[in-house]
């Protein structure tokens, strides 16, 4: 098939799980013999600064639009997104299927469907309606993103949910009929993320990360309220002081978020806690080394439709302590590959940091249990989350959607 894959994020401009998903899915589809054209945002100045073609995969980067004059940065950014969507819609005309990732590219997909009559598939990585705090930060721009999302799901011919929890949210919050939804999980490259990567610490040293004290527990995620980093910082004083906590956290959702985290980290370090914050973008080889040298992975998200970071950790052979929300229980098996901590049940959110810290301590203080869970985690990933299998399921869904539209 000829696939037009539309996404905001694509290497080298990746800051979240959707970008990782788009990269590996496009590669896997091309490896199956399909012609995949990726249209994605570029962070470089100017129009279409880069193009890439390799085998059945081609990538075209869409540069920024006009210098919009708008009342506020959020509205200006929204207008820039829409201008790139217009260009994408004009380019995605030679395809058998259009496949969009995140609301940033959804409008382009809807327009291309309307213009050319090509079936439209959307992948739901998250929902704007489930992140109401963005309304406080972005105002009218958030209202527009939520409107785009809602109308895009209504227009789509098929919707892929990255978890069963995401599928339930699509039906309940966006009114997507169950018959239009297919659950296809995220995947992972188990060669790239594996136990024993960087055993001598050379990769960490090369990237200036050798100051991290072992043993350490690792958090990787955007600087977003969604990822629960503020709750994790509240948990630090209750975590065994022999364990360092490493935060690999960039791409703040607001300047205030970055300032709040900086204040908390500085206070904790002043009080003697071993907290290390990596604020810069970390290349993938260094990420793999960070995972492999950790002893526990931390995922305190308050909203997580899937959580590809947990797959990366599990593939690296380390157990996960995670909040029991969204699609996380579909990945992390409580008591087998990690420990799940209820977010709102029982004592409620106010006690979550203490309960999360208790789960971390339980694993840290039981090395044999950590090793057993880490080995089980890698086996689970190898069995259930390969990109080749996910690409095959995706193509099958393309064919189903195309057949319904043709009929």
Residue 60 binned pLDDT confidence (cut-offs 50, 70, 90): very high
At 264, phi and psi to the nearest 5? -65, -45
CATH number of the domain located at residue range(s) 2-187+386-406 in this protein: 3.40.50.2000
The string of DSSP letters for 177-188 reads: -GGGEEE----B
Sheet of 158-161: strand order equals 51-54, 57-62, 35-41, 2-7, 97-101, 120-124, 158-161, 181-183
Q: What predicted TM-score, i.e. pTM, was given to this entire model?
A: 0.81
Query: Using an 8 Å Cβ cutoff, are 278 and 247 in contact?
Result: yes
Which pLDDT tens digit goes with each residue over 267-297? 999 999 999 999 888 888 889 999 999 999 9
Average pLDDT over residues 104-125: 96
Query: Using an 8 Å Cβ cutoff, are 61 and 48 in contact?
Result: yes
Which two structure tokens, joined as six digits, stand for 206?
Answer: 């090369």
Consecutive H or E run containing 260: helix 255-270
- Domain range summary for the chain, segments of one domain joined by +: 2-187+386-406, 202-384
Domain 202-384 architecture: 3-Layer(aba) Sandwich (3.40)
CA distance 226 to 223: 8
Residue 310: the pLDDT is 96
Consecutive H or E run containing 284: helix 284-293
Residue 347 binned pLDDT confidence (cut-offs 50, 70, 90): very low
CA distance 41 to 11: 10
Query: Using an 8 Å Cβ cutoff, are 89 and 136 in contact?
Result: no
């Amino acid at each position: 098939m000829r696939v037009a894959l539309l996404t905001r994020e694509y290497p080298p401009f990746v800051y979240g799980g959707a970008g990782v998903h788009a990269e590996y899915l496009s590669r896997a589809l091309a490896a199956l013999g399909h012609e995949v054209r990726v249209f994605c945002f570029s962070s470089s100045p100017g129009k279409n600064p880069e193009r890439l073609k390799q085998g059945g995969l081609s990538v075209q980067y869409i540069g920024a639009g006009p210098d919009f004059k708008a009342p506020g940065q959020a509205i200006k950014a929204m207008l820039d997104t829409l201008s790139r969507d217009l260009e994408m819609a004009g380019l995605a005309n030679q395809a058998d299927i259009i496949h969009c990732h995140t609301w940033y590219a959804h409008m382009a997909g809807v327009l291309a469907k309307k213009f050319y009559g090509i079936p439209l598939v959307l992948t739901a990585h998250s929902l704007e309606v489930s992140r109401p705090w963005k309304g406080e930060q972005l105002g009218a721009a958030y209202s527009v993103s939520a409107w785009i999302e809602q109308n895009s799901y209504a227009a789509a011919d098929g919707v892929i949910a990255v978890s069963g929890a995401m599928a339930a949210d699509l039906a309940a919050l966006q009114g997507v009929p169950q018959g239009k939804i297919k659950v296809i999980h995220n995947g992972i490259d188990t060669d790239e993320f594996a136990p024993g990567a960087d055993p001598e610490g050379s990769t960490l040293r090369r990237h200036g990360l050798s100051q991290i004290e072992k043993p350490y527990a690792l958090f990787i995620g955007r600087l977003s309220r969604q990822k629960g980093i503020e709750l994790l910082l509240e948990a630090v004083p209750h975590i065994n002081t022999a364990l360092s906590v490493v935060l690999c956290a960039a791409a703040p959702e607001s300047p205030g978020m970055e300032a709040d985290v900086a204040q908390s980290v500085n206070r904790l370090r002043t009080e003697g806690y071993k907290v290390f914050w990596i604020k810069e973008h970390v290349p993938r080889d260094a990420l793999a080394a960070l995972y492999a040298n950790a002893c526990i992975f931390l995922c305190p998200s308050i909203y997580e439709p899937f959580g590809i970071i947990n797959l990366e950790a599990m593939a690296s052979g380390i157990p996960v302590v995670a909040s029991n929300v969204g699609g996380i229980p579909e990945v992390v098996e409580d008591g087998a590959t990690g420990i799940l901590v209820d977010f709102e049940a029982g004592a409620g959110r106010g006690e979550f940091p203490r309960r999360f810290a208790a789960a971390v301590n339980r694993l840290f203080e039981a090395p044999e249990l950590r090793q057993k869970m880490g080995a089980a985690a890698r086996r689970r990933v190898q069995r259930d989350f390969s990109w080749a299998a996910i690409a095959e399921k995706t193509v099958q869904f393309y064919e189903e959607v195309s057949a319904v539209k043709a009929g």
